[in-house]
Structure 1
């Protein structure tokens, strides 16, 4: 019973974490990780484990798929070089540096390399949660890096485990394994994505559409792992494959429902991963004596500093090399100032994926106990804790200190330009019989008048229209309450209420989007916040 109460407490904490973050002025992942550490003092926490197989085979594909799906392909094409340099060679270099530091702490080389592979990759959910204040182009670099570096780290960890089993390993074999892992993973992801698009093109039921979308990351990861490819790379390539095309082949209603489903699912899974990571503190530190725990905690802080220093140094080295070999004017526009480079370095948070990777280290290999496995787990936990509690908590301050320019990331001019372009295309399309249908001339003229008005204002709302949107939102909120009241009095059947409520929700989404896009603040959740502010 205590375990069930603990799980209910976890879910409640995740649900209220955004409100707690605004109240305490700490990022939500930091609060959840600290809450997990505090909950570990509950006796029932000793029975709650972080199953690495579930994290790597279930949680990770879902989180990575949504992050990949919502990643800007335009920015990814522009910044592909830093993404690759951060996602592949930096992981190997970080693992090597962490292994040297861990060996200095007393771990044998095989255990030190296992630790290095676990702490080398950044965590996609942590980066997405902490770095939202960054401009879109740099957020894309960080997210894309975290999407592919897990695959590199898992290849390194697999090579370490293979060596512990007595297999010979060298640079050539590791390079071949890495190439095969990425090649097979890309192929499996592309195939799964194309097949998924074929299915989505023929599906009209929103429930089936959501189920197909949920199955896609597993349809990509499982075959990739079966042929010794990277399931992580397969999920990411599948998400990028369907990202744009699915928006063309899927109707608006299923897409709206699927978006809400993925937002809630990834929010809960990501939050659960942070809490579960914190819950491991008791289990890990009670496996060693007190003196060893204190020594490992100190070494964990040192390894964290090594990992951070390597990341910052690599960012500056990569920037210098790119500037040296590519002096084109277009490349100069992509350059980042020194303060921005420091922010990108400070944004490299580790998370539950690192702990799950460390837990995959087998206790016994080839009949021999894997050396210092408890020490590996504790040091990994310390690196994760330091990045979440120190880097994560101070990242907003570092971003403000850097004074990163968001001039090139303001979407409003582009939104107005696209709105005008679509209005022009709509006027032309109304001349086509397939679009006009059997509509009367009066209806066509009314639509043309609206389109001419849209072209004239370029997508901006006038003061009158903003007031109209606010009144509309307040009216929709009132109608929603009235609808629920009618249903509670049995004057309206529930199924009827749901259908009417869906229409009200779609109308609210339209007006809140218009009201939100009319503002100047560059935030992905501004339309929803605008609606909340109006209906309060």
Structure 2
């Protein structure tokens, strides 16, 4: 994991691909072959944590704008992909039950893989893809449950039973997600201590997931809904210290979990190859390639058909404003990565099912192909698509900073009077805010480069002074004049000031 994360940027290859390759390599070491990726670990440990962080950092406004398309992609496309892959499996010799289970495993895009591999996409395209990946796992797991029940339990589902299972998965998961988000907000508002606050935040996705699974609803939907609710209530439900700790903790945890999944996929692929008889491998490789091609083609054709129908039926100006080019459909088809969820579903197949080893082999192979081939092809495809520069996020960030500074400038006289602040302090702060607004205005309009350059020089000097202060604190500690506790407190204060000064660079 560490080597892949370090090496990837240096050889200009996405870190997940390097971690996957390293997992394949270490799979040749005999003791490592005993390491396996339990499906329960993915579904109960990795999945809630990763989906929760993805939902906390996904724009709810963007989801509302493209909700119809996201729902269609996360439900109907999953079903179409599952049955399309199942048809290919049956044609190449798999039983119908095993083929449908394979289709259910390969149908959903993976939020982890999408977040790691599709960062070159424009903001709106990335948001749609992430939102789809957050929801479609729930649909795929319902299809998987039905397929396993029919193949292993020999259950003859009626149309009403299937409808009931789908309704329970989505409605039940949604209700529990709303309850978890609401209760979580109430709890977080009452926890001022950053450690306790973030411990509660860590518990929420697992409680939501397990509660939903207990009633056979979709734990995925519950976690996503809870995360989206907390993304809206969180800014008012926690303290600045808690939010800083939340971002640092979840960024680290999600990075570790993502890296672990990609390495384990590589190791598990080794086990998948060894689990099938050698004479079957050529046919399974053919099935793997055909299934991989099928999910790309089905995704592209499905989007073209649904978009055409929507444009015929909905001619509102708002709908016209949301339209994308056909090249965007090609990009979306190429960005439909499969990942650990597909492999976890395959590994969860009961051992009594005939064809289990073949399902795992094909699922692992398709995951590797989507990550390795599509991951390499996606950047040139994005360049070919010719997307217009997406400055939405930068524009909104600049507007938000300007609005915050304007609000502060207007509030300074009133707040200074309420707090009995001396006039010279008030005037000094007013002057600082006016200069700050002048710099922002100059940067926004490309004017007064000297003013902007002076601000940059001021920031550079302040950061350099902070380094000198830090060196002085370390020297005092080394000389025995202060102890380590004092050093840590001072270093924390200096680090906060450095982060404040360098925040624009960090955001970029």
TM-score (norm 2): 0.94
Q: How many residues align?
A: 499
1:229 to 217, 221, 229: 217
Name the counterpart of 1:501. 491
Give the Cα–Cα distance (whole angstroms) in 1 for the partners of residues 12 and 439 of structure 2: 39
Give the Cα–Cα distance (whole angstroms) in 2 for the partners of residues 133 and 173 of structure 1: 42
Name the counterpart of 1:147. 134
1:178 to 161, 166, 183: 166
Q: Does 1:132 align with 2:114?
A: no
Give the Cα–Cα distance (whole angstroms) in 2 for the partners of residues 435 and 441 of structure 1: 9
Give the 4+ runs in structure 1 shifted more than 6 A: none
Inter-CA distance 314–512: structure 2 relative to 1 (3 Å threshold): same
Give the Cα–Cα distance (whole angstroms) in 2 for the partners of residues 132 and 255 of structure 1: 24
Name the counterpart of 2:277. 289
Give the Cα–Cα distance (whole angstroms) in 2 for the partners of residues 121 and 305 of structure 1: 15
Inter-CA distance 112–435: structure 2 relative to 1 (3 Å threshold): farther
Give the Cα–Cα distance (whole angstroms) in 2 for the partners of residues 414 and 307 of structure 1: 36
Q: Does 1:415 align with 2:415?
A: no
* Contact 2:439 2:455 (C-alpha < 8 Å) held by counterparts: no
Name the counterpart of 2:106. 119
1:396 to 354, 379, 400: 379
The CA RMSD measured in Å over matched residues stands at: 1.8
Inter-CA distance 484–63: structure 2 relative to 1 (3 Å threshold): farther
CA positional deviation for 1:434 = 9.3
Name the counterpart of 2:408. 426
Q: Does 1:445 align with 2:427?
A: yes
Give the Cα–Cα distance (whole angstroms) in 1 for the partners of residues 361 and 74 of structure 2: 25
Aligned partner of residue 502 in structure 2, secondary structure: helix
Inter-CA distance 506–435: structure 2 relative to 1 (3 Å threshold): farther
- Deviation string for 1:443-494 (max 9, x for gaps)? 2222222333334444647111112222323333443344344434443222
Q: Quick check: 207-216 or 456-465, which moved more?
A: 456-465
Inter-CA distance 29–463: structure 2 relative to 1 (3 Å threshold): same
CA positional deviation for 1:396 = 1.2
* Contact 1:430 1:436 (C-alpha < 8 Å) held by counterparts: no
1:245 to 209, 230, 233: 233
Name the counterpart of 2:366. 383
Task: Mark the runs of 5 or more structure 2 residues left unpaired by the alignment.
Answer: 444-450
* Contact 1:429 1:435 (C-alpha < 8 Å) held by counterparts: no
- Deviation string for 1:17-60 (max 9, x for gaps)? 34312222211111111111111100012210101101100100
Task: Mark the runs of 5 or more structure 1 residues left unpaired by the alignment.
Answer: 1-13, 365-369, 517-524, 528-536
